[in-house]
Amino acid sequence: MSQLPSFFGTRGHKKFNYQPMYYDERKEEREQRNRQIEKEMGIENDDIYTPRIRKGQMSGLYRRTQRKAERQSNIRLVILIVFLVLVAWLIFFR
């Protein structure tokens, strides 16, 4: 098959600006210890980054999303069964 020319032309390739991030646990512990020492010494720095994601916060995410999907699927199934019973009742008993 030959390719027909497109009205809008061909699309260009997509460009992504992905920069991988690496996690160094030793460096994090060292920086946290340095911040703690600076705090104890009275040296304050307002530009300190405090992570909002805590360790273990994402542990139950898969289970929660799985349960939610199962619940939605069950609700759809019940609605479909009720609808089919209603249609069957209208067809056979009227």
Q: Where are the domains of the chain?
A: 62-94
pLDDT band at 88 (very low <50, low <70, confident <90, very high): very high
Q: Which of 65, 60, 51 is nearest to 21 (CA)?
A: 51
**What number is the average pLDDT over the span 83-93?**
94
Q: Please, which residues have CB within 8 angstroms of residue 45's CB and are 6 or more apart in sequence? A: 35, 38
CA–CA gap between residue 35 and residue 29 (Å, rounded): 10
CB 35 within 8 A of CB 48: yes
Q: Which pLDDT value is given to residue 80?
A: 96
Q: Which pLDDT value is given to residue 63?
A: 86
The rounded mean pLDDT for the chain is 82
Q: For the chain, what percent of residues have pLDDT higher than 70? A: 84
CA–CA gap between residue 63 and residue 75 (Å, rounded): 18
pTM exceeds cut of 0.75: no
pLDDT in tens, 15-59: 888 887 888 889 989 999 988 888 888 776 666 677 777 777 777
